[in-house]
Structure 1
Amino acid sequence: MDIHQIKQVSEIMRWNSFTKAAEALNVTQPTISKSIKNLENELNTMVFIREGNQFKLTEAGETIMRYAGPILQMVDQLTAELNDLTYLNRGSIRIGIPPMAGTNFFPSVIKSFQELYPGISVTLVEEGARMIKDYIENGSLDVGVILLPVEEKAIDSFQIVDDRLKVIVPVSHPLAKQSRISLKILAEEKFILFSSGFALHDRIISECRKAGFEPRIVYESTQWDFIGEMVGADLGITMLPDTICRSLDSNKVRAVSLIDPIIPWQLAIAWKRDSYLSRAAQEWIAFTREKFKAT
């Protein structure tokens, strides 16, 4: 058994498909099938069994998967440390960025970083802040942008954005003429929220419950601009950070200040505490710290 076969077993279970696993690993499907067959011959037992459209692990497969995560993470750390020997002439960083933060804050930052370190490969993962935090904790990401506050002691961070939420309504909505409102008057409204993988999803629901009502959620999406368009089509209301509100179509929606309560939207660069950070990741942290401090 070698590291490639362990990675292949892990990817097959991740995608529930030999074909998709092969694509993820940049090999052909026959190549990965032959490799797994060789592994099964070596072990003298099957690793996978097919049940309908699902691949299931045998006891041998489950044993491999139990060790696969730690082994692959150690290999990644070994690779990262060896890349450090060239002192940032090469290397890679896996960065998680939520859609709203990516659009509004990071294109110029990433461009400046790549100009300074052209040999560093940057892999961007666009997910909600909640998923990004989980990926940082399990080692799938080196660094990422998360929503504060964060209670996990395993995470280190520093704040880069301090904003607050506004209520977004269609231009025809009676509240569109208000300059400020309290959350409790939205009790009978239809809400359009980010999907549950986004920290803002739970934050809004929690604040509504504190205000004494359960929000009636009619749609969920992963894209802030699509949410804005749905509000503009009079399908419901939403809450978005003030920074994002400036990018919405003022002919379709209005952003109304929320004053009771004020709901902060604070973003931070985060990484796993007490875990190895490559020199490239350390430089990204230092670079963004100075970049956002300047702005």
Structure 2
Amino acid sequence: MDFKQLEYIVAIADSGNLSRAADKLFITRSALNYSLLNLEKELGGPLFKRLNNQMVLTSMGELYVKYARKILLLSHECNSILRDFNDNTKGTLNIGITPGYGQKVFQAVYPEFYKKYPAYDITLKEANARQLYTYLHEGVIDFAWCAFHNRSLGLEHIILNESEILLAVPDSMITDDSATVNTSNDAPVSLEKFKSSQFILMNQSSLIREITDIYFEKAHIHPHIMFECSTISMARSFAQKGIALTFLPKAMCLPNIGLTYFHLPWPETFGLSITYRKDAYLTQADWFLINKMKEFYPIVLNNEINIK
């Protein structure tokens, strides 16, 4: 079996375009197209529909790519196991991190990893949690540092922290009627009290946004969204300035910053985890990096929480 051919087809499927796939594979477009045409001739049918410059998988192509991913994943894991048996001082780690906080954790731990494994290469994927979960299932990455909401089928989660998502209201917007609970009181507040308020929310790809949408749906509210942002600290900063309401993990609800925090009737939790496939083999190098992330994350988290 030609593993390069498998890699070529998967790259075309992921890129959706021959030129982009060729760039990713460091070969010419003509060479990639020649390989694809030969394989399609050998298989007796097309793997892709050519729609202008886009390459769209046919039914046969979807089946081929499904098994190609499995074969490449098994090959990668076999090589990882053999490397641990023999020389585990060099190799490649494929990991995923989220932008922002994930970047900061990686920056903190990589120097330690480099001291231990200077001959290791790292392929780093930066994406939101949903995309990282897809990369895990497809075998693109070995493990991911990412946000955590609900357990995902086929994945293992090393949960680093988990906290309830609270409604954060600027003190200037608190009325006698609404200021009945805070983080020291477990009694929930009705979100309907704030249905006329303006909100700053995380963007659609965020797991916190997934949770806030659940809150609004259960309260039967269509919120007025001023704008969306990409980081929790940014949403908190604008709420502090009295511009709008937002939602924050309880771990990031600082006291005495001009915000009052409310529990809601349907508590949902959000956290951070190191996530990998249940059937994955993680090398000694993988576990070294994972353990360093577990060691350093409280320091980075504390710095992130206390950015006012």
Band the TM-score falls in, shorter-chain normalisation: 0.7 to 0.9
Identity across aligned pairs (percent)? 24
SS at match of 2:279: coil
1:9 Cα shift? 1.7
TM-score with structure 2 length normalisation?
0.73
The equivalent of 2:259 in structure 1 is: 256
The equivalent of 1:284 in structure 2 is: 289
SS at match of 1:99: coil
**Any gaps of 5 or more consecutive residues in structure 1?**
247-253
For 1:51 and 1:220, the matched residues in 2 are separated by: 34
Pairing 1:22–2:15 present: no
The equivalent of 1:249 in structure 2 is: none
SS at match of 2:102: helix
Deviation digits for residues 83-102 of structure 1 (CA, Å, limit 9, x no counterpart)? 33454311222222222432
CA RMSD of aligned residues (A): 3.9
Residue number among 221, 231, 236 corresponding to 1:213 in the alignment: 221
- Aligned partners of 1:183 and 1:208 also within 8 Å: no
TM-score with structure 1 length normalisation?
0.75
1:272 Cα shift? 1.9
- Aligned partners of 2:168 and 2:246 also within 8 Å: yes
The equivalent of 1:67 in structure 2 is: 67
Pairing 1:194–2:199 present: no
Residue number among 161, 173, 176 corresponding to 1:175 in the alignment: 173
Deviation digits for residues 8-55 of structure 1 (CA, Å, limit 9, x no counterpart)? 122212222100001111222222122223334444654434234433
Tell me: CA distance 1:104–1:292, structure 2 relative to 1, closer, same or farther (3 Å). closer
- Aligned partners of 1:245 and 1:255 also within 8 Å: no
Deviation digits for residues 143-175 of structure 1 (CA, Å, limit 9, x no counterpart)? 1234345334633333323556566678xx833
For 1:255 and 1:104, the matched residues in 2 are separated by: 27
Letter matched to residue 84 of structure 2: D
Matches within 5 A, 1:100-115: 100-115=100-115
SS at match of 1:269: strand
Letter matched to residue 75 of structure 1: S
For 1:123 and 1:233, the matched residues in 2 are separated by: 40
Pairing 1:119–2:119 present: yes
1:131 Cα shift? 3.1
- Aligned partners of 1:157 and 1:268 also within 8 Å: yes
**Any gaps of 5 or more consecutive residues in structure 2?**
184-188, 301-308
Pairing 1:266–2:274 present: no
- Aligned partners of 2:96 and 2:124 also within 8 Å: yes
